[in-house]
Amino acid sequence: MQRTLEAEVMDTEAEAVDYDRMDHSEPNEAFVARLIELGARGRMLDIGTGPGHIPLLVCERIRDAEVLGVDLADAMLAIAERRRRASAHRERLRYERADACALPYADGAFDAVFSNTILHHIPDPRPFLREAWRVLRPGGAFLIRDLYRPPDEARLEDLVRLHAGGSNAHQQAMFRDSLMAALTPAELRALLREIGLNDLELTVDTDRHMSLQRAARLPS
């Protein structure tokens, strides 16, 4: 099945609200558990934070975490900011509008860099991957997780039924479009070789998720 691009920024109120209301709890918990396994700590950057679910979990699970979440979608950032203000961890959270492909931060500015399911929104992921790596401190923890594209339409519809069967029609359409816009593991490996990010491990984690990761090598 060929890659079919979707909108790069989910910035209508309907998209933001429907996305926020979908049940992401299981993959989000698994994502944060992987960050902990990788030794993420300190000053962290969440690229494509959306409604801010994961930074809240990070601050709950990692005591010394300070998280900056960035996104291009104002509607998503508005939801994230409401969640931050209501959180007991609000002093360790901050959100800003920023482009994942042109981050306004210095080289090596963060102890950990992570991103959950925005890779498929970006037509050319090369600048995003380079920028995420650039702002990571040498030896920092790195985790980019995304969907991967199924091989055919039958498998696509199986995944929609399995993971979005209880969602409304718009939510199902968003999930279907995201799967169709995702890369395959082979395509992502080829991109990594092309841009020279050979220090990253690529893992297939679930029936729909893959990750680029590196464990922290910071002093204890």
Report all structural domains of the chain as residue ranges with CATH numbers, in order of start: 13-214 (3.40.50.150)
Q: How do residues 15-50 score in pLDDT, each as one tens digit?
A: 776 776 777 789 999 999 999 999 999 999 999 999
- Rounded CA-CA distance 180/178 in Å is 5
Residues 6+ apart with CB under 8 A from 158: 150
What is the CB neighbour count within 10 angstroms for residue 102?
9
DSSP-assigned beta bridge partners for residue 144: 115, 212
Region 129-155: mean pLDDT is 97
Amino acid at 111: D
Find the largest Cα–Cα distance for the chain: 48
Q: What mean pLDDT comes out for the span 197-212?
A: 96
pLDDT at 219 over 70: no
pLDDT band at 151 (very low <50, low <70, confident <90, very high): very high
Mean predicted confidence (pLDDT) in 57-78: 95
- Of the candidates 10, 31, 28, the one whose C-alpha atom is nearest the C-alpha of residue 19 is 10
Q: How confident is the model at residue 11 (pLDDT cuts 50, 70, 90)?
A: low
Question: Each residue of 81-134: pLDDT tens digit?
Answer: 999 999 999 999 999 999 999 999 999 999 999 999 999 999 999 999 999 999
Mean pLDDT computed over 144-167: 96
pLDDT the model gives residue 124: 95
- Collapsing DSSP states into helix, strand and coil, what is residue 29? helix
CA distance 53 to 43: 17
